[in-house]
């Protein structure tokens, strides 16, 4: 690991010497469109642009082959596929939509941001298309709900993801540890791991969303999903300064005080945190089940040691002990500015076909589409995640996708401030409430 | 009879200026006017709903603690850039002036950070600051047992850490300005001084430094303006975090306008930033001119 980061620095340095002087060119492959088809029959060529966030081995290939199949079935259609890294995608899409030049088909997590775009008239209403050929019935209801706003469907989900607590079985065996049942157990576990010189949790919170999982879980465990729903909907008496949110903030700060997270975690990226986990330097990792797909390609040997349990319950409180945090991490929407909406919808049908779902399972991810695929096709750790999903009475959508854009940003900023210890739980909750009131 | 050619000349000069004026108006002045107009609305930036709220966004800005925090960070960046970059750049330029054969080699090396893309520099420094494994921590590990330091993750450490990277990137640029300044100083002045037995320090103090005053002025203004509207390295390395500890006004404009979809507020922030940069430039110019006048009077 040490060697590799030094090597990374050297590689980066070498890369600079080559790129020096071409400041205007987009750096990295993220921004470069990859054409999947070059030659097409003469006559009318229909061009579509398609942006997604699966910019890593596995899911990227699944989507690329789906697009290839689509192009073969639709002569004269060229789809320009642009995979963009998660956090870069958020910035790029927001900018392109604000400036009025969005891609024809794009990834979405559903939730509040999609609803905001839908209300602004930027997304195509798919409700009518869903009624044809029983398309609607093919989707997992909860996943489709994430893509629904004001009674209409604005995107179709391929993926369903949940966030369990992943752990390194080897470390747990060597230290004789059991999955914690509630937050007191969890803290005891952290103390033990630290004493053994192991970082309890891998966390890279520079991009702010990875730390949010902790706040969402603690708040859901303490106050239930209804607390957030009521606060976001501005129901009378409901508020973001609810005791459950304050309690959640306090749990986070207690974990920080126990040194449950790696040194400098607020400045680390999630990629760096994942490496800490895969190299056995951190024992646990609160992350989506896409981790399995990452593990298959980045650290295949680690699959053996990978296992998960559900986030510990609250020892006191009226919350949902079994609910899982999750959402859809690959849903696709059509921009209302798309010139060939019927072609774009046909592409969505291909992207959410049973065949793609099958390939999705094969790389270790959970599809939002009912298929006859047996669980056997899933890698073992992903099967454990599926069990947690099946046992869960409900899915709490990631807050930063559930909430409106302004509240989502405030949620990420205040949660990072809680982790940094520069905001009290009360002040963070009060700040959320203030932003909610202003954006009513 | 004299008027005709003059007006033709005038016409020609306007015709020649027209493309530049149109371009400048369309892509600089118009967007500024648009931002000023947007700043009076409550608007998400993507929807059709727009509500006129006059100066409400500016009232929000004055109340918003993050804006003041960002502004404070900006001024710290201005101060440290002036105090670190300019003297370092001048020192390097003077040192290089003593080199003969290797001068252009070192000049290229020292200017290289400026030629690298900001994203690349940001990534490089992120690697350097990596807790435990980074170049810096591994260097510190040679002297002490404390080997993991979360440089970019600590709110008390992140701003100096990022400013160090910014200085590293921009010092070379100011150095090149100073080198050009030194090369334009007449050689006779140095010869005369050395004939009179002046020490190297006296030569620097009495000739180089005063002769570099005009370049220093340009450097200072560029540095101040650049620091006030700074964005790129901060965005790549910390995104203004953790929890606004390295937030600058420009990063906050982006977060507010685009991410939070508060386009009106974002525009108000941008207009405020423009006003601050504009004022700072005027004040700097006035101060430097007054200083130049004072030193001139002192000599007379």
Q: Are residues A312 and A345 in the same domain?
A: no
Which 265-324 residues of chain A touch chain B by CB within 8 A? 265-269, 272
Q: Specify if B44 maps to a domain.
A: no
CB pairs below 8 Å between A and B: how many? 157
Report the gap between the CA of B252 and the closest CA in chain A (Å). Answer: 12
Residue of A256, A263, A415 to mutate, testing the B interface (most B Cβ within 10 Å of its Cβ):
A263
Choose among A5, A206, A406: nearest Cβ to B134: A5
Choose among B46, B134, B155: nearest Cβ to A97: B46
Q: pTM, whole model, 2 decimals?
A: 0.82
Spatial distance between the Cα atoms of A12 and B121, rounded to a whole number of angstroms: 9
Q: What is the CATH number of the domain that holds B130?
A: 1.10.3720.10
Q: Do A409 and B255 touch (CB under 8 A)?
A: yes
Nearby residues of A32 by Cβ (< 8 Å), 6 or more positions away: A26
| Count of domains for chain B | 1
Q: Specify if B268 maps to a domain.
A: yes
Q: Are residues A133 and A176 in the same domain?
A: no
Q: Is A18 on the interface with B (CB under 8 A)?
A: no
Q: Specify if A202 maps to a domain.
A: yes
The predicted-structure confidence for A278-316, as pLDDT tens digits, reads as follows 999 999 999 999 999 899 989 999 999 999 999 999 988
Q: How confident is the model at residue A86 (pLDDT cuts 50, 70, 90)?
A: confident
Mean pLDDT rounded to a whole number for chain A? 87
Q: Are residues A229 and A101 in the same domain?
A: no
Q: Is the pLDDT of residue A156 over 70?
A: yes
User: For residue A440, what pLDDT is reported?
Assistant: 65
Determine the average pLDDT of the residues in A20-48: 49
Q: Is A94 on the interface with B (CB under 8 A)?
A: yes
Which 382-421 residues of chain A touch chain B by CB within 8 A? 404-406, 408-410, 413-414, 416-417, 419-420
Q: How confident is the model at residue A95 (pLDDT cuts 50, 70, 90)?
A: confident
Q: Are residues A341 and A318 in the same domain?
A: no
Q: Specify if A8 maps to a domain.
A: no
Report the gap between the CA of A281 and the closest CA in chain B (Å). Answer: 12
Rounded to 5 degrees, what angle do the CA atoms B274, B280, B283 make?
140
Residues of A in contact with B46 (CB under 8 A): 97-98, 116-117, 120, 122
Residues of A in contact with B135 (CB under 8 A): 6, 9
Residues of A in contact with B154 (CB under 8 A): 264, 266-267, 420
Q: Do A205 and B118 touch (CB under 8 A)?
A: no
User: For residue B4, what pLDDT is reported?
Assistant: 56
Q: Specify if A268 maps to a domain.
A: yes
Q: Specify if B285 maps to a domain.
A: yes
The residue in chain B having the minimum alpha-carbon distance to the alpha carbon of residue A20 is: B116
Q: Do B152 and A405 touch (CB under 8 A)?
A: no
The predicted-structure confidence for B210-221, as pLDDT tens digits, reads as follows 899 889 989 999
- Both ends of chain A: CA-CA distance in Å? 48
The predicted-structure confidence for A400-426, as pLDDT tens digits, reads as follows 989 988 899 999 999 999 999 989 999
Q: Are residues A132 and A110 in the same domain?
A: yes
Q: Residues of chain B with pLDDT > 70: what percent? A: 96
Which 106-145 residues of chain A touch chain B by CB within 8 A? 116-117, 119-122
Q: Do A12 and B127 touch (CB under 8 A)?
A: yes
Q: Do A6 and B153 touch (CB under 8 A)?
A: no
Determine the average pLDDT of the residues in A47-54: 94
CA atoms in the 13 A half-sphere facing the CB of B210: 14
Q: Is the pLDDT of residue B195 over 50?
A: yes
Residue bearing the bigger pLDDT, B288 or A324: A324
Tell me the residue range of the domain where A148 lies: 46-160+328-372
User: For residue A321, what pLDDT is reported?
Assistant: 83
User: For residue A7, what pLDDT is reported?
Assistant: 45
Q: Do B261 and A413 touch (CB under 8 A)?
A: no
Q: Specify if B25 maps to a domain.
A: no
Q: Specify if A39 maps to a domain.
A: no
Choose among B48, B118, B123: nearest Cβ to A121: B48
The predicted-structure confidence for B118-165, as pLDDT tens digits, reads as follows 999 999 999 999 888 889 988 888 887 766 778 898 888 999 999 999
Report the gap between the CA of A22 and the closest CA in chain B (Å). Answer: 7
Determine the average pLDDT of the residues in A95-110: 90
User: For residue A1, what pLDDT is reported?
Assistant: 39
Q: Specify if B99 maps to a domain.
A: yes
Spatial distance between the Cα atoms of B31 and B35, rounded to a whole number of angstroms: 6
The residue in chain B having the minimum alpha-carbon distance to the alpha carbon of residue A203 is: B153
The predicted-structure confidence for B219-256, as pLDDT tens digits, reads as follows 999 999 999 999 999 999 999 988 899 999 999 999 99
Does ipTM come in above 0.85? Answer: no
Beta bridge partners of A47: A78
Report the gap between the CA of A387 and the closest CA in chain B (Å). Answer: 35
Q: Do B127 and A5 touch (CB under 8 A)?
A: yes
Q: Are residues A303 and A401 in the same domain?
A: yes
- Bond into B242 cis (ω within 30): yes
Q: How confident is the model at residue B285 (pLDDT cuts 50, 70, 90)?
A: confident
Residue with tokens 């991009």: A207
Q: Do B133 and A97 touch (CB under 8 A)?
A: no
Spatial distance between the Cα atoms of A320 and B40, rounded to a whole number of angstroms: 44
Q: Specify if A17 maps to a domain.
A: no
Q: What is the CATH number of the domain that holds A429?
A: 3.40.190.10
Choose among A20, A265, A406: nearest Cβ to B153: A265
User: For residue B86, what pLDDT is reported?
Assistant: 94
Report the gap between the CA of B118 and the closest CA in chain A (Å). Answer: 8
Q: How confident is the model at residue B300 (pLDDT cuts 50, 70, 90)?
A: low
CB count, 10 Å around CB of A178?
9
The residue in chain A having the minimum alpha-carbon distance to the alpha carbon of residue B158 is: A267
Report the gap between the CA of B156 and the closest CA in chain A (Å). Answer: 10
Q: Are residues A321 and A366 in the same domain?
A: no
User: For residue B143, what pLDDT is reported?
Assistant: 85
Q: Specify if B40 maps to a domain.
A: no
User: For residue B3, what pLDDT is reported?
Assistant: 52
Residue of A95, A266, A337 to mutate, testing the B interface (most B Cβ within 10 Å of its Cβ):
A266
Which 149-208 residues of chain A touch chain B by CB within 8 A? 205-208
Q: Specify if A12 maps to a domain.
A: no
The predicted-structure confidence for A197-248, as pLDDT tens digits, reads as follows 999 999 999 999 999 999 999 999 999 999 999 999 999 989 999 999 999 9
Q: Residues of chain B with pLDDT > 90: what percent? A: 59
| Count of domains for chain A | 2
User: For residue A43, what pLDDT is reported?
Assistant: 59
Report the gap between the CA of A95 and the closest CA in chain B (Å). Answer: 6
The predicted-structure confidence for A306-348, as pLDDT tens digits, reads as follows 999 999 999 888 888 889 999 999 999 999 999 999 999 999 9
């Amino acid at each position: 690991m040490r060697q590799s980061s030094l090597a990374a620095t050297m590689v980066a340095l070498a890369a600079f010497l080559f790129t020096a002087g071409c400041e205007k060119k987009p750096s990295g492959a993220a921004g470069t469109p990859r054409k999947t088809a070059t030659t097409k029959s003469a006559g009318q060529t229909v061009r579509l642009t398609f942006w997604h966030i699966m910019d890593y081995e596995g899911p990227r290939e699944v989507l690329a082959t789906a697009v290839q199949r689509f192009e073969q079935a639709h002569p004269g259609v060229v789809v320009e596929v642009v995979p963009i890294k998660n956090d870069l995608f958020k910035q790029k899409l927001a900018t392109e939509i604000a400036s009025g030049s969005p891609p024809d088909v794009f990834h979405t997590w559903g939730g509040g941001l999609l609803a905001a775009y839908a209300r602004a008239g930027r997304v195509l209403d798919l409700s009518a298309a869903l009624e044809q050929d029983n398309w609607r019935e093919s989707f997992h209801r909860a996943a489709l709900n994430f893509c629904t706003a004001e009674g209409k469907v604005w995107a179709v989900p391929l993926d369903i993801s949940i966030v369990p607590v992943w752990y390194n079985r080897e470390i747990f065996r060597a230290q004789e540890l059991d999955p914690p049942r509630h937050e007191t157990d969890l803290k005891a576990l952290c103390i033990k791991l630290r004493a053994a010189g192991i970082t309890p949790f891998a966390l890279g919170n520079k991009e702010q969303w990875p730390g949010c999982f902790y706040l969402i879980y603690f708040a859901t465990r303490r106050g239930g999903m209804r607390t957030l729903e009521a606060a976001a909907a501005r129901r009378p008496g409901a508020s973001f300064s609810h005791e459950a949110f304050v309690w959640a903030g306090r749990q986070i700060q207690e974990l920080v005080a126990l040194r449950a997270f790696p040194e400098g975690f607020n400045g680390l990226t999630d990629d760096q945190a994942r490496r800490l986990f895969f190299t056995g330097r951190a024992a646990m990792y609160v992350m989506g089940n896409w981790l399995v797909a990452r593990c298959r390609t980045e650290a295949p040997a680690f699959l053996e040691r990978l296992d998960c349990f559900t986030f510990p319950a609250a020892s006191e409180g009226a919350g949902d002990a079994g609910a899982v945090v999750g959402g859809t991490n690959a849903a696709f929407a059509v921009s209302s500015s798309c010139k060939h909406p019927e072609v774009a919808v046909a592409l969505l049908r291909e992207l959410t076909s049973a065949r793609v779902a099958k390939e999705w399972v094969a790389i270790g991810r959970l599809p939002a589409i009912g298929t006859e695929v047996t669980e056997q096709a899933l890698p073992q750790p992903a099967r454990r995640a599926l069990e947690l999903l099946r046992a869960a009475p409900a899915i709490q959508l990631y807050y930063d996708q559930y909430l409106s854009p302004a509240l989502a940003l405030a949620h990420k900023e205040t949660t990072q401030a809680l982790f940094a210890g520069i905001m009290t739980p009360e002040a963070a909750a009060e700040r959320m409430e203030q932003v909610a009131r202003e954006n009513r | 009879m004299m008027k005709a050619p003059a007006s033709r000349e005038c016409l020609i000069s306007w015709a020649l200026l027209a493309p530049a004026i149109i371009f400048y108006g369309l892509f600089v002045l118009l967007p500024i006017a648009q931002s000023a107009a947007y700043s009076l609305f409550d608007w998400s930036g993507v929807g059709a709903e727009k509500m006129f709220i006059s100066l409400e966004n500016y009232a929000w800005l004055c109340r918003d603690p993050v804006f003041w925090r960002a502004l404070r960070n900006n001024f710290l960046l201005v101060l440290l850039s002036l105090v670190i970059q300019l003297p370092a750049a001048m020192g390097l330029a003077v040192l290089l002036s003593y080199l003969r054969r290797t001068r252009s080699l070192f000049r290229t090396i020292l200017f290289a950070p400026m030629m690298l893309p900001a994203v690349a520099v940001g990534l490089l420094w992120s690697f350097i600051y990596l807790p435990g494994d980074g170049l810096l921590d591994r260097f510190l590990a040679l002297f002490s047992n404390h080997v993991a330091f979360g440089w970019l993750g600590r709110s008390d450490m992140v701003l100096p850490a990022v400013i160090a990277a910014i200085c590293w990137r921009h010092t070379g640029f100011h150095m090149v300005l100073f080198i050009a300044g030194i090369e334009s100083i007449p050689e006779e002045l140095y010869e005369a001084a050395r004939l009179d037995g002046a020490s190297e320090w006296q030569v620097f103090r009495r000739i180089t430094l005063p002769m570099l005053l005009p370049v220093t002025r340009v450097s200072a203004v560029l540095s101040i303006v650049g620091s006030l509207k700074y964005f790129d390295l901060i965005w790549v390395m910390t995104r203004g975090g953790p929890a606004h500890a390295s937030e600058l006004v420009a990063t906050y404009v982006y977060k507010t306008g685009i991410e939070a979809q508060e386009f009106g507020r974002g525009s108000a922030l941008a207009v405020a930033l423009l006003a601050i940069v504009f004022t700072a430039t005027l004040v700097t110019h006035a101060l430097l001119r007054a200083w130049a006048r004072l030193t001139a009077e002192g000599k007379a």
